[in-house]
C-alpha cells in the first residue's frame, strides 16, 4: 500500500475546480497503482491496523439550516433554460408549460377540486404557495421543501424525519404523450382506499413495508387513513392491530391496495434509513434555533412553522412547548436535555467542547424562550469594533470619506448637530444630543405618536448596543406605505448612531438612492458581482474574494457598528444571506 499526501480542493467552487484540474494535469498517472483519496483519520487507522467497521445502513440527508443556505444544483443551465422557455411558450398543451409558471404546472389542486374532495384532502393556501414556488424553481429542491409538498392524505405525518424514513418518493413520470394523462389524473380517486398518494409535484408516494407498524403507532394515524394502514399491515405482515375494527375487502381489492400503496423494491427485513442532520453548533445561535425547530419539531410546512413574531411562537408551532404565555424554566431544560441526548451525544469531540456546547445550547434556548432575545457567545460587537483599530492609510481614508458623507446628510435633518460636531463625536466622547420629533401642521395626532414611538425604538436599540451586553440586539424593521416617513426615521437613527460615536452607514439596492442618503449601495460595499448568479455559495465566495482585494472595504465592514438599509423590501433572501454570511466571517 502506498500513501501519498494530496491536497483536496472544493470542486463545487470554480476556482477550486480549476486548481484541481491543473494539479491533475501536472501529476504523473502510473497505471500500475489505482486507488482513491483517503482522509487523515482513515489513513491513520490503516497504518495502525485498526479493525475496520462496515455497515449496510442507509441514510437520508435532512438539511436543518435556513432555506437560503441549503445546497442545491441547477436543474437546467441558464442559457438552455431561456431557450426552452421560448420553445415551450409556443406549445399550448395542458402539460407542457414553460418553466417559471408554477401556477399552471400545478394541476393537483384542480384535479382534487374536480373530483369534489373534502377540504382536508385539498392543499392548503400555504402549501399551494410552496408548491408553485417549487415548480417555478430552476434549481433542485431540498427534503424540507419536498416534505411541505407531500399529499394531503399524508398530512398526519408531521415530521420530515418520519416522512422520509417511512415513505419512498418515486421518480417523476411525464404525462402520457397520447392521452396527456398525468400521475395525478391516473392515481387520484374519491375513495380513500383507491386514491394513490401523489404529492404537489406529481410524484407518487409509497410506504416502505417495514415502516407500516411505525406509521400505525403515530398519534394522528386515525380514521380512514388509520383503517387503510390497518389493511396494509394485514396485507404485508398478516397482522391485525385493532381487532375491534371490521373492514370488508375482497382479495383483488387487497392486491390492488398492495400495488398502489406499498414500495415493492423494499424488503420487510430491511432496516429503515437513519436521518442525517446538518452539524450546527449551539454557539451559532440563530442557525441553532432553526436547526432545533426543523430537526425536533412537528409541523406541516415552513410557512406555518415560522408564522408569528417571536421565537417562542415558532417553538409552539413546532409543538416543542405547550403554550407561548406560560413558558417555564422546565421547558428550557427539557429542550436542552432532548438536544443533548438525541443529537449532541453523537457529535465527535472532547469533553471541553461537549461542556461548552451544552452551556451554549441552554443559554440560546433560555434567551429565546424566556427573554425573547438572542444569546451572544462571542465578544459583543461594540467591544469588538473598538478593539479592531489597526488600519492602513487607504482604509482610514475610506472611513473618513464615508463618515463625512453621512455627517453631511445627517446635519441637514431638522434639529440635528452640525457636520463638524458629528465628525468629532467618538465612543469616548459622544454628543449630548437626542432626536426629537416635531409635529407638522397637517399631521394627525395618531401619525405623530406613531413617529415618536418608532424614534424611541430606534434610540433604545442603539443604546442597548452601546451597553455591550452578552445578548444580540434585535434588528428593527420599519414598515409602512409610501410617504409615511420610513426613510426619515432611518436617517434619524443613523444620525443618533453617529452622535454616539458609532461607525454607521446607510445602504440600498439602488446606487443613486444610497449616495443621496450619504452611503454607498450594497453591491459596492460587499463587492457583490452584478451578474445573475443562481448559486448562493458562488455569490458569497465572489463577495469574500472581492473584499480581500479591497482591504479598505473589508476593514470598514469589520469595524461597522450599525448598518441601515433603505428599501429593504427590494432585497432578495439570497442577497440578505450573502450580507449575513460575509458580516459573520469577515
The three three-digit cell numbers of residue 91, written as one number: 406549445
Do the beta carbons of residue 227 and residue 221 sit within 8 Å? no
More confident: 539 or 104:
539
Interval 315-338 mean pLDDT: 93
Q: Inform me whether the pLDDT recorded for 115 exceeds 80.
A: yes
Neighbours of 130 (CB within 10 A): 23
Give the cell for residue 159.
Answer: 415530521
Lowest model confidence (mean pLDDT) among 68-77, 194-203, 526-535 = 68-77
Q: pLDDT (tens digit, 9 = 90+) per residue, 517-526?
A: 999 999 999 9
Q: What is the pLDDT of residue 315?
A: 95
What pLDDT is recorded for position 462?
92
Mean pLDDT of 531-546: 80
Q: What is the pLDDT of residues 154-208, one digit of tens each?
A: 999 999 999 999 999 999 888 888 888 888 999 999 998 899 999 999 999 999 9
**Mean pLDDT for the chain overall:** 84
The predicted structure's pLDDT at residue 330: 93
pLDDT digits (tens, 9 = 90+) for 19-49: 777 777 666 555 555 566 777 777 888 888 8
Comparing C-alpha atoms, which of 299, 298, 359 is closest to residue 333?
359
Q: Which residue has the higher pLDDT, 334 or 33?
A: 334
- The β-bridge relationship of strands 274-277 and 374-375 is unpaired
Residue 228 and residue 284 in contact, taking contact as beta carbons nearer than 8 Å = no
DSSP secondary structure string, 462-520?
HHHHHTT-SEEPPP------TTSSHHHHHHHHHHHHHHTT--EEEE-SSHHHHHHTTS-
- Give the CA angle between residues 511, 514, 518 to the nearest 5°: 135
Residue length of the chain: 586
- Confidence category of residue 314, pLDDT binned at 50, 70, 90: very high
- What does the pLDDT average to over 390-409? 82
Q: Is the pLDDT of residue 123 over 90?
A: yes
Rounded CA gap, 446 and 455, in Å? Answer: 14
Q: Which long-range contacts (CB under 8 A, 24 or more apart) does 145-150 make?
A: 145/67, 145/302, 146/199, 146/201, 147/301, 148/300, 148/301, 148/302, 148/303, 149/199, 149/200, 149/201, 150/199, 150/200, 150/205
Would you say residue 293 has pLDDT above 90? yes
Q: What are the grid coordinates assigned to 342, written together?
A: 438525541
- Write the CA distances from 324 to 288, 289, 318, 327, 540, integer angstroms: 20, 16, 12, 6, 37
Distance CA 175, CA 567 (A): 44
Mean pLDDT of 315-332: 92
pTM for the model stands at 0.71
> In the 8-state DSSP scheme, what is residue 423?
H
- 262 vs 71, which has greater pLDDT? 262
pLDDT class of 269 with cuts at 50, 70, 90:
confident
Instruction: Evaluate if residue 441 carries a pLDDT over 80.
Output: yes
What phi-psi label fits residue 483: left (phi over 0), alpha (psi between -120 and 50 degrees) or beta? left
Give the cell for residue 487. Answer: 426613510
The pLDDT of 304-322, averaged and rounded, is 92
Lowest mean pLDDT among 129-143, 375-389, 530-544: 375-389
Q: What is the pLDDT of residue 554?
A: 87
3-state DSSP assignment of residue 267: coil
In this prediction, residue 207 carries a pLDDT of 95
User: What's the confidence (pLDDT) of residue 407?
Assistant: 92
Give me 234's grid cell. 394485514
pLDDT the model gives residue 339: 96
Percent of the chain exceeding pLDDT 90 equals: 40
> pLDDT tens digits, residue range 471-506?
778 888 998 888 888 999 999 999 999 999 999 999
Average pLDDT estimate for 140-145: 91
Least confident residue range of 146-155, 175-184, 527-536, 555-564:
527-536
- What is the rounded radius of gyration, in angstroms, for the C-alpha atoms of the chain? 29
Q: For residues 144 and 115, what is the distance between their CA atoms, to the nearest angstrom?
A: 29
Question: Are the beta carbons of 261 and 206 closer than 8 angstroms?
Answer: yes
Which of 242-245's residues contact partners 24+ apart within 8 Å by CB, and which partners? none
Which has the higher per-residue pLDDT, 13 or 176? 176
Amino acid at each position: 500500500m502506498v500513501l501519498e499526501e494530496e491536497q483536496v480542493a472544493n470542486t463545487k467552487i470554480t476556482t477550486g475546480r480549476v486548481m484541481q484540474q491543473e494539479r491533475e494535469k501536472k501529476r504523473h498517472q502510473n497505471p500500475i497503482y489505482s486507488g482513491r483519496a483517503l482522509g487523515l483519520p482513515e489513513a491513520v487507522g490503516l497504518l495502525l491496523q485498526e479493525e475496520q467497521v462496515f455497515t449496510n445502513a442507509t441514510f437520508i440527508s435532512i438539511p436543518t439550516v435556513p432555506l437560503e443556505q441549503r445546497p442545491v444544483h441547477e436543474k437546467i443551465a441558464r442559457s438552455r433554460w431561456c431557450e426552452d422557455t421560448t420553445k415551450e411558450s409556443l406549445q399550448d398543451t395542458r402539460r407542457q408549460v414553460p418553466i417559471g409558471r408554477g401556477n399552471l404546472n400545478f394541476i393537483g389542486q384542480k384535479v382534487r377540486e374536480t373530483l369534489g374532495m373534502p377540504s382536508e384532502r385539498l392543499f392548503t393556501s400555504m402549501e399551494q404557495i410552496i408548491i408553485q414556488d417549487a415548480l417555478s424553481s430552476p434549481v433542485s429542491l431540498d427534503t424540507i421543501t419536498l416534505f411541505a409538498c407531500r399529499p394531503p392524505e399524508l398530512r398526519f405525518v408531521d415530521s420530515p424525519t418520519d416522512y422520509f424514513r417511512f415513505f419512498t418518493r418515486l421518480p417523476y413520470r411525464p404525462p402520457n404523450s397520447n392521452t396527456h394523462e398525468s400521475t395525478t389524473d391516473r392515481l387520484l380517486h374519491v375513495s380513500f382506499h383507491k386514491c394513490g398518494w401523489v404529492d404537489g409535484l406529481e410524484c407518487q408516494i409509497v410506504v416502505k413495508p417495514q415502516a407500516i407498524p411505525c406509521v400505525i403507532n403515530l398519534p394522528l394515524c386515525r380514521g380512514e387513513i388509520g383503517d387503510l394502514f390497518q389493511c396494509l399491515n394485514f396485507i404485508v405482515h398478516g397482522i391485525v392491530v385493532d381487532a375491534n375494527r371490521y373492514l370488508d375487502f375482497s382479495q383483488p381489492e387487497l392486491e390492488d391496495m398492495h400495488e398502489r400503496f406499498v414500495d415493492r423494491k423494499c424488503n420487510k427485513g430491511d432496516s429503515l434509513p437513519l436521518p442525517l442532520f446538518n452539524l450546527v453548533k449551539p454557539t451559532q445561535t440563530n442557525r441553532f434555533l432553526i436547526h432545533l425547530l426543523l430537526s425536533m419539531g412537528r409541523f406541516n410546512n415552513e410557512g406555518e412553522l415560522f408564522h408569528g413574531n417571536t421565537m417562542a411562537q415558532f417553538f409552539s408551532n413546532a409543538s416543542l412547548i405547550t403554550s407561548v404565555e406560560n413558558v417555564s424554566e422546565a421547558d428550557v431544560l427539557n429542550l436542552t436535555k432532548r438536544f443533548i441526548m438525541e443529537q449532541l451525544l453523537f457529535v465527535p469531540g472532547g469533553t471541553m467542547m461537549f461542556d461548552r456546547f451544552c452551556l451554549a445550547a441552554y443559554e440560546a434556548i433560555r434567551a429565546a424562550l424566556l427573554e425573547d432575545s438572542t444569546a451572544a457567545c462571542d465578544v459583543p460587537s461594540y467591544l469588538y469594533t473598538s478593539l479592531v483599530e489597526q488600519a492602513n492609510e487607504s482604509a482610514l481614508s475610506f472611513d473618513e470619506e464615508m463618515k463625512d458623507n453621512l455627517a453631511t446628510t445627517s446635519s441637514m435633518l431638522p434639529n440635528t448637530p452640525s457636520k463638524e460636531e458629528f465628525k468629532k463625536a467618538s465612543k469616548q466622547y459622544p454628543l449630548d444630543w437626542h432626536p426629537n420629533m416635531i409635529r407638522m401642521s397637517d399631521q394627525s395626532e395618531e401619525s405623530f405618536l406613531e413617529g415618536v414611538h418608532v424614534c424611541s425604538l430606534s434610540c433604545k436599540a442603539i443604546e442597548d448596543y452601546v451597553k455591550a451586553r452578552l445578548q444580540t440586539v434585535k434588528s428593527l424593521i420599519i414598515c409602512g406605505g409610501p410617504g409615511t416617513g420610513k426613510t426619515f426615521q432611518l436617517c434619524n437613527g443613523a444620525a443618533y448612531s453617529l452622535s454616539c460615536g458609532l461607525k454607521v452607514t446607510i445602504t440600498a439596492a439602488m446606487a443613486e438612492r444610497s449616495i443621496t442618503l450619504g452611503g454607498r449601495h450594497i453591491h459596492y460595499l460587499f463587492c457583490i458581482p452584478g451578474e445573475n448568479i443562481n448559486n448562493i455559495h458562488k455569490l458569497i465566495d465572489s463577495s469574500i474574494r472581492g473584499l480581500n482585494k479591497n482591504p479598505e472595504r473589508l476593514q470598514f465592514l469589520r469595524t461597522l457598528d450599525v448598518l441601515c438599509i433603505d428599501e429593504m423590501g427590494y432585497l432578495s433572501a439570497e442577497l440578505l444571506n450573502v450580507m449575513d454570511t460575509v458580516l459573520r466571517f469577515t
